Structure 1
Amino acid sequence: MRIVDVCALYAPQGGGVKTYVERKLAAGAAAGHEIVILAPSENGGVVEAQGGGRIVMMPARRFPLDRRYSYFDDEASLHAMLDRLRPDMVEASSPWASASMVARWRGDAPRALIMHADPLSAYAYRWFGPVLSRRAIDRGFDWFWRHLRRLDAQFDLVVSASDSLSDRLREGSLNRVATLPMGVEPGHFHPRHRNEALRARLLARCGLGPDATLLLGVGRHAPEKRWPMVIEAAASAGYHSPIGLVLVGDGRDRARVVRAADNNPHIQLLAPITRRDTLAELLASADALVHGCEAETYCMVAAEARASGLPVIVPDQGGASDQARDGGFRYEATQADSMAQAIRDFIALREEARAAAAAAAPAVRTMDAHFDELFATYAGLQAMRRIAA
């Protein structure tokens, strides 16, 4: 198959979607498929992937709220590119305007909408959740639910990476939803990468000895990630037992994160880590991963932590919640006091939780398993099209 992914959320600087795209290119080539990624970019160009497949950067405008990203703004050019490529399968990887553009394309290839983003959780529920119920917010954003239902009718498949998102989409009357969890890159993350010397050095940077608990957070500094809440929860739990918190990342919300840390010696902010081996060692060497975002569609970093044998402390909503198995701990989303209690619960069972997570690590789903299932699903759609014809 030639599979064309209209990937509005791709950024060369990195992120979960970039990791997913790069592995898809490799998995597609290994399975005998040709993968073409169409990504919006301030500059055009083609990036050939090792082993097969390519990323075609289509000229587009920069997204004003996050300059790392661009967005498709020329429907005619996108349709012309799809006409030239003659795909056997088309994906739209964002539920926004680009998905509507793909829906309006006149080609006859089957189409799948990949829910790499959950705008209602990332924005509407976060903005209005403190004063309104989700039912009331959904009524206020019924225009967006109508948009999703139109896409559901125009696409052959809506792919969700977590049960929690799939359930909400079905509750919103989408009928073509399938849950295909993503998985982690194989060969990178494993409990054997644990480095006690690294753990001791990180705790020392936090002004603590090796008997303290080392919590790790990894991700962009963005409002929906709720790092100030994570910091507040860790500081509160730290009154009961010594805790060091290391946050890895950067972004437009960095100033708020720095203010929340408030020169606390037990909190260290580190720059983003791009090397997978370095990240794998760091994940395996902490005591638990802490995560504040209830708007994840899958939560790649929590899956990577689980594959590293690291217990996770995550909110009880969104894709991160699905990762709280095999030694994981959930807390009430958006609530710092509930998170602090979950941290204390983890510390009380720290060694048992770590042992359970390490034992379960080999069973964590890989991206290759995800793509095997995805490609098989696409082949089924094509077969149904042929029968219908």
Structure 2
Amino acid sequence: MRIVDVCAFYAPRGGGVKTYVDRKLAAGAAHGHEIIVVAPGEDYRTEMRGEGARIEWVPGPKMPFDRNYRYFADQETIHAALDRLRPDFVEASSPWRAAEAVASWRGSAPRALFMHADPLAAYAYRWFGPVASREAIDRGFDWFWRHLRRLDARYDLVVSPSRSLADRLAEGGLRQVVTNPLGIASGEFAPAHRDEGLRAELLRRCNLGPEAALLIGLGRHAPEKRWPMVVDACMAAGVERPVGLVLVGGGRDKAKVVRHVGGNPHVLLLAPVTDRPALARLLASGDALIHGCEAETFCLVAAEARASGLPLIAPDLGGAADQARDSGGEVYRAADAASAAQAVVRLIDRGVALLGAEARARAGGTRRLDAHFAELFAGYEAVAGRARVAA
């Protein structure tokens, strides 16, 4: 099949969506499909990506709040690209304007909405959660749920990358939802990369001995990641148990995170690690991954940590929660530093060495991207086949 992905959040300097789409471009040929990504760029341009894969850039203005990204200027641009490309199947990768444009396109190809983003969790629940329940927030944002239900009625599939998001979408009245968790690339992360010498060195830099628990936090310094809350939780847990925290990342909130850490000797801030083997070694050398964001649709970092043999400490909502439970780790009440501190203490008291050994034994079962793409393409083929029979 020719599968066209209308991807509003694909950019040369993008983050998780770019990583995922790049891997999908490579995976398509292995499954006998031609993958074409339509993305907003500086001008009209075709970028070849190997056998049967390419990116069709179309002009789009820059996002005012993040100049690394652009957006589709109008629906007509998307419709013209789809008319020209004549896809067998169309995918929209965000629930906003691009999804509306794909839904309103007059072509006959079946289409899927892939929920790479969870706007309510990333924004509304985070902003208003301290003063209102999720039920009240959902009522206040019923316009967004009506929007999603309208899209659901016009799409053949709504793909959710986590069970927790799929459950919320179904509770919100969507009927076409299927769950297809993402996965990690094969061969990068494994317990074999564990380095006890590196672990001891990181704890030394946290002003702690090897008997302490070494927690790793990995991700962008952005408000939804809640790193100041994670720091507070580890500081509180550290009053009862020796805990070192290594935070790896950077971003627009870096200065805020640095100020929040202050002079705490048990928190080590590291720049983003772009060397994948070095990152695999760092992750495998920790005792647990701690995560603060309850708005993850899948949480690739959590999957990479699980494949490295780490149990997880994560909020009880979002994609990270699914993975923490599956890892044998701990969950805590989202956005609650005291609850997170208790989760850290619980995990330590269960035995870091024992939990680590169990997590390393399970690491090989971490879901791989190969399985995700096989399931995704099989689902698209089934929908396209039914459409052909109906026609």
* 2:162 matched residue in structure 1: 162
2: distance between equivalents of 1:247 and 1:57?
35
* Deviation by residue 1:87-117 (Cα, 9 ceiling, x = unmatched): 1111000011111011111111111000000
Would the aligned equivalents of 1:231 and 1:261 in 2 still touch at CA under 8 Å?
yes
Contact 1:26 1:52 in 2 (8 A): no
Structure 2: which 5+ runs fail to align?
A: none
> Are the equivalent residues in 2 in contact too, given 1:284–1:305 (CA < 8 A)?
yes
Distance 1:205 1:66 in 2: 34
| Corresponding position of 2:287 | 287
Contact 1:95 1:148 in 2 (8 A): yes
Counterpart CA distance in 1 for 2:341 and 2:228 is 13
Find the aligned partners of 1:204 and 1:43 in 2 and give their Cα distance: 51
CA drift at 1:49? 1.8
Shift of 1:57: 2.5
* C-alpha displacement of 1:43: 4.8
Instruction: List per-residue Cα deviations over 1:50-101 (Å, max 9, x = no partner).
Output: 4441122222122222222221123212211111111111100001111101
The CA RMSD measured in Å over matched residues stands at: 1.3
Q: Where in structure 2 are the equivalents of 1:191-270 lying within 5 Å?
A: 191-270=191-270
Shift of 1:269: 1.6
Aligned to 2:7: 7
Residue in structure 2 matched with residue 370 of structure 1 by the alignment: 372
Q: List per-residue Cα deviations over 1:290-312 (Å, max 9, x = no partner).
A: 10000110111001100111111
Aligned residue number for residue 386 of structure 1: 388
Higher mean C-alpha displacement, 340-349 vs 115-124: 340-349
Instruction: Provide, for residues 147-194 of structure 1, a one-character-per-residue CA deviation record: whole Å limited to 9, x for no partner.
Output: 000100111100001111011101110000000001111111111011
Where does residue 134 of structure 2 map in the other structure?
A: 134
Indicate the residue corresponding to 2:299 in structure 1.
299
2:166–2:178 Cα contact (<8 Å) kept? yes
CA distance in 2: counterparts of 1:272 and 1:371, whole angstroms: 28
Q: Distance in 2 between matches of 1:281 and 1:195?
A: 7
The answer to whether the 8 A contact 1:11-1:69 is kept is yes
Distance 1:46 1:267 in 2: 46
Q: Structure 1 length as normaliser, TM-score?
A: 0.97
The one-letter code of the counterpart of 2:267 is I
Do residues 337 (structure 1) and 338 (structure 2) align? yes
CA contact (8 A) 2:312 2:327 kept: no
Kept in 1, the 8 Å contact 2:214–2:246? The answer is yes
Query: What is residue 32 of structure 1 aligned with on the other side?
Result: 32
Aligned counterparts of 2:87 and 2:81: Cα–Cα separation in 1 = 10
1:198 is matched by which residue type in structure 2?
A: L
Judged with a 3 Å threshold, the aligned counterparts in structure 2 of structure 1 residues 332 and 78 are, in CA distance, closer, same or farther, namely same
Mean CA deviation greater in 26-35 or 70-79: 70-79
Report what 2:105 is aligned to: 105
The letter for the 2-side match of 1:367 is L
Q: State percent identity of aligned pairs.
A: 64
Residue of structure 2 in register with 1:84 after alignment:
84
CA contact (8 A) 2:14 2:68 kept: no
CA distance in 2, matches of 1:205, 1:291: 21
